[in-house]
């Protein structure tokens, strides 16, 4: 595998900065101060056209005057100076750069053209760079801080890559107060050269990074993200906050599929397919990432809770239960061992509630250790470990104020309580309303035990540990073998395109499905009333009659579908009614009525940079109103198809439900895989909409189908 461009960029032995001077209010000077005061041990060369000394270091008037080609150049200069300076560095042999200057693609067409020129110059000299419009990097292992914010903490174990520079530079103090420490942090900016997938690949391979977190405003290449993440997530957790869907909007589609599968929906499926845990806030990104970086892997769903307050115990239990975790009742044996140590009014069932009992050793060490030893839990949450109770005291001005009544504890208690996770290989999370001013909060954080400022937050972080366990436990299956395209299917598509069709009619679409082994309803396309009667008798009553033309996609709304036709007379009436409403001799499809109470939608739509996306969800006439769907990029492995099926909210109906037998998941999954294969083999198909797919007995049968061809219109089909 070729070297990641970030290997050298994150570990430079020499750095040159352009934009640093002696004015402490300038961004370039702030960055230089971070380098110099952060403890970086390499060589530093400031470049300044007039200053002879910059922050105590000899300054050089131009790039050409440098004594050597630096490993890394950083540019914090006006936009119009960036390209000439990058070219100057290219000429002397510098091959890595960080361009913090803004004014490129984010400003519009003119800025995009400028960014294209920047890329051309970089390619000419073999330069790989971060940015533009970024805020630098952190590498705590070599005390390298190339942001504008000071940082002095011991090396961390969490890797971070972000489209937002603010989340790298402005969160340093915020994270320090919470005991969260980066191993590496990378501000990506506009991704004109090095992108967030490069950063994921680098952090995934980095031996100092135990978990990776990503702040994402877009995905440049969905298939590449999946490919890279799949190599990382089995042995290192990856989390992401994705916020691009709400601003990008959904691409309207001609079929139900295109209408439903907007960018956020698509990217949610991609992240799941990649094994990346999605969170919804930057706070959760940092805190859940830290929990996964610091704690042993969660072995199961059973969580023990110890508190000195009933409210937090209930909140933790409720949150865990909603997310599918378990708060099991402890065995009589374990309760009998706990009971002599706790007050008479304490609950020992789980949660263990000491009810404002302030024996810290009991709350934080003795009881949790008993529970961890019991083999009855897989994870532990503790609330209420604090160094004080709250009293009231009147001050000289007669105003009340809180006073802290300290209770001294020896060092051995702190060692016992903070070492529990590693001694028993069980993750421990702490809930406390007190920050690092409390010595126990500080002790936990200094020993890599995460502390959350509410019970629910601690519980939700434990859920992320469960999600990662599910990712680690995923069965690994090879992607499907892509066969050669079926010649008959290709002939149908090319004939339609030659005729100027923008879609296939239902009969043509189902012929293609049949050629790829997808089960469809029995049907006959007819042009005459007598033929309709004959077809209905051969298929067997009841039947459905439908208008069949690629130009008519809203058949139901126009009254061009008749269901449950049970007699010859009804066939004749329906045939005539359809012809009358259609105002022409339109072909009519006589179709088998398939029985089944469970209906699904299966579809495919294409997005730029992503390729074909397969969709699955609840079907029928309320598909869009219910909007219970999941998606993945094609091609789908067997495991991915089945995960996709069980990703919908209404997954309960897939099992034994109201007297109906369980759905044949293997057959349904194969249908999804086959739709992905069709979309890969036939790029002329822009969208596919199969709705409804009826579960007949236990197996799926496609009752209606629409194929939109490339170049066709993009309007929603109801």
> DSSP string spanning 109-156?
HHHHHHHHHHHHHHHHHT-EEE-SS---EEEGGGTEE-SSS-------
pLDDT at res. 401: 38
pLDDT at 11 > cutoff 90: yes
pLDDT at res. 410: 66
> ∠ CA(158), CA(159), CA(163), 5° rounding?
135
> Are 610 and 633 a contacting pair, CB within 8 Å?
yes
The structure's pTM equals 0.89
pLDDT at res. 521: 97
pLDDT at 642 > cutoff 80: yes
pLDDT at res. 132: 94
Question: Residue 382's pLDDT band (boundaries 50, 70, 90)?
Answer: very high
Q: How far apart are CA 105 and CA 92, in angstroms?
A: 27
Q: DSSP letters of 276-299?
A: PEEESSHHHHHHHHHHHHHSPPP-
Pairing of the two strands 137-139 and 182-187 = antiparallel
pLDDT at 397 > cutoff 50: no
Question: Residue 150's pLDDT band (boundaries 50, 70, 90)?
Answer: confident
pLDDT at 648 > cutoff 50: yes
Could you give the dihedral angle defined by the CA atoms of residues 165, 168, 170 and 173, in that order, rounded to the nearest 10 degrees?
Answer: 180
Q: Indicate the average pLDDT of the chain.
A: 90
pLDDT at 253 > cutoff 80: no
Q: How far apart are CA 410 and CA 443, in angstroms?
A: 12
Residues of the chain above pLDDT 90, percent: 81
Residues pairing with 565 in the sheet: 543
Walk me through the domains of the chain, giving residue ranges and CATH numbers.
6-243 (3.40.50.720), 295-392+404-472 (3.40.50.261), 475-521+594-718 (3.30.470.20)
List Cβ neighbours of 339 (8 Å cut-off, separation of 6 or more).
Answer: 348
Q: What is the per-residue pLDDT across 88-126, written as a single tens digit (0 to 9) for each?
A: 999 999 999 999 999 998 888 999 999 999 999 999 999
Residue of 285, 59, 39 whose CA lies nearest to 150: 39
Q: What is the per-residue pLDDT across 505-514, written as a single tens digit (0 to 9) for each?
A: 999 999 999 9
> Are 709 and 509 a contacting pair, CB within 8 Å?
no
Question: Residue 79's pLDDT band (boundaries 50, 70, 90)?
Answer: very high
pLDDT at res. 323: 94
The rounded Cα 96 to chain-centroid distance in angstroms is 29
pLDDT at 392 > cutoff 80: no
Q: In the structure encoding, which two tokens stand for residue 603, read together?
A: 């579809």
Q: What is the per-residue pLDDT across 16-62, written as a single tens digit (0 to 9) for each?
A: 999 999 998 899 999 999 999 999 999 999 999 999 999 999 999 99
pLDDT at res. 130: 97
Lowest average pLDDT, out of 484-488, 525-529, 616-620, goes to: 616-620
What is the SS3 assignment for 198? helix
Round the CA-based radius of gyration of the chain to a whole number and report it.
Answer: 32
pLDDT at 573 > cutoff 70: yes
pLDDT at res. 388: 60
Q: Can you state the percent helix, strand and coil of the chain, rounding each to 5?
A: 40, 20, 40
Residue 652's Cβ-count burial label (10 Å; 0-12, 13-18, 19+) is exposed
> Which letter, b or e, does each residue of 429-439 get, where b requires 16 or more Cβ atoms within 10 Å of its Cβ?
bbbbebebebb
């Amino acid at each position: 595998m070729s070297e990641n461009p970030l290997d050298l960029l994150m570990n430079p032995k020499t750095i040159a900065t352009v934009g640093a001077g002696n004015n402490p209010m300038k961004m370039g000077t702030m960055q230089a101060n971070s380098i110099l005061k952060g403890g970086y041990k390499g060589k530093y060369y400031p470049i300044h056209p007039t200053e002879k000394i910059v922050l105590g270091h000899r300054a050089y008037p131009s790039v050409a005057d440098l004594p050597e080609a630096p490993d890394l150049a950083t540019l914090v200069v006006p936009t119009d100076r960036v390209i000439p300076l990058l070219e100057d560095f290219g000429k002397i042999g510098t091959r890595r750069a960080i361009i913090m200057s803004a004014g490129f693609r984010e400003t519009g067409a003119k800025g995009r053209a400028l960014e294209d020129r920047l890329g051309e110059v970089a390619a000419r000299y073999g330069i790989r760079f971060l940015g533009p419009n970024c805020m630098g990097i952190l590498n705590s292992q070599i005390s390298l801080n190339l942001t504008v914010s000071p940082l002095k903490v011991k090396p961390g174990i969490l890797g971070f890559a972000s489209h937002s520079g603010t989340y790298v530079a402005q969160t340093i103090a915020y994270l320090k107060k919470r005991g969260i420490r980066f191993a590496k942090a990378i501000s990506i900016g506009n991704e004109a050269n090095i992108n967030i997938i490069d950063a994921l690949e680098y952090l995934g391979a980095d031996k100092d990074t135990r978990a990776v977190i990503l702040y994402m405003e877009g995905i440049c290449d969905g298939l590449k993200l999946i490919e890279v993440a799949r190599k990382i997530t089995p042995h290192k957790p990856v989390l992401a906050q994705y916020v691009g869907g709400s601003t990008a909007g959904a691409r309207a589609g001609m079929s139900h599929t295109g209408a439903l599968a907007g960018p956020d929906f698509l990217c949610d499926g991609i992240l799941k397919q990649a094994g990346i845990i999605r969170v919804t806030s930057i706070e959760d990104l940092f805190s859940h990432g830290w929990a996964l970086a610091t704690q042993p892997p969660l072995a199961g769903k059973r969580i023990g809770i110890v508190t000195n307050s009933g409210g937090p115990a209930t909140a933790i239990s409720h949150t865990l239960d909603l997310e599918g975790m378990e708060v099991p009742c402890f065995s009589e044996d374990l309760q009998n061992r706990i009971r002599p140590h706790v007050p008479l009014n304490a609950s020992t069932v789980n949660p263990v509630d000491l009810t404002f009992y302030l024996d810290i050793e009991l709350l934080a060490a003795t009881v949790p250790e008993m529970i961890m030893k019991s083999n009855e839990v897989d994870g532990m949450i503790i609330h209420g470990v604090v160094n004080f109770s709250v009293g009231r005291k009147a001050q000289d001005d007669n105003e009340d104020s809180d006073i802290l009544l300290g209770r001294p504890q020896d060092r051995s208690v702190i060692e016992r309580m903070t070492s529990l996770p590693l001694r028993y290989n069980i993750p421990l999370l702490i809930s406390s309303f007190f920050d690092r001013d409390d010595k126990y909060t500080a002790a936990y954080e200094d020993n890599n035990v995460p502390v959350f400022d509410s019970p629910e937050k601690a519980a939700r972080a434990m859920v992320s540990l469960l999600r990662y366990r599910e990712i680690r436990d995923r069965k690994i299956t090879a992607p499907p073998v892509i066969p050669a395209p079926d010649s008959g299917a290709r002939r149908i598509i090319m004939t339609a395109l030659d005729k100027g069709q923008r879609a296939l009619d239902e009969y043509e679409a189902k012929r293609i499905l049949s050629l790829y082994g997808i089960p469809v309803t029995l049907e006959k396309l007819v042009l005459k009333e007598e033929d309709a009667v004959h077809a209905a008798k051969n298929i067997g009553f009841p039947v459905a009659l439908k208008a069949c033309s690629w130009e008519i996609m809203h058949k139901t709304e126009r009254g061009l579908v008749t269901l449950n036709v049970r007699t010859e007379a009804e066939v004749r009436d329906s045939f005539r009614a359809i012809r009358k409403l259609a105002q022409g001799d339109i072909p009519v499809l006589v179709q088998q009525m398939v029985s089944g109470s469970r209906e699904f939608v299966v579809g495919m739509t294409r997005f730029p940079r992503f390729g074909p996306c397969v969709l699955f969800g609840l079907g029928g006439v309320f598909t869009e109103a219910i909007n219970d769907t999941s998606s993945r990029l094609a091609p789908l492995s067997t495991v991915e198809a089945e995960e996709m099926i069980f990703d919908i909210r209404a997954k309960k109906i897939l099992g034994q439900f109201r007297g109906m037998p369980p759905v044949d998941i293997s057959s349904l999954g194969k249908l999804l895989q086959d739709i992905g294969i069709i979309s890969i083999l036939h790029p002329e198909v822009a969208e596919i909409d199969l709705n409804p797919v009826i579960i007949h007995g236990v197996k799926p049968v496609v009752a209606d189908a629409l194929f939109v061809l490339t170049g066709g219109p993009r309007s929603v089909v109801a």
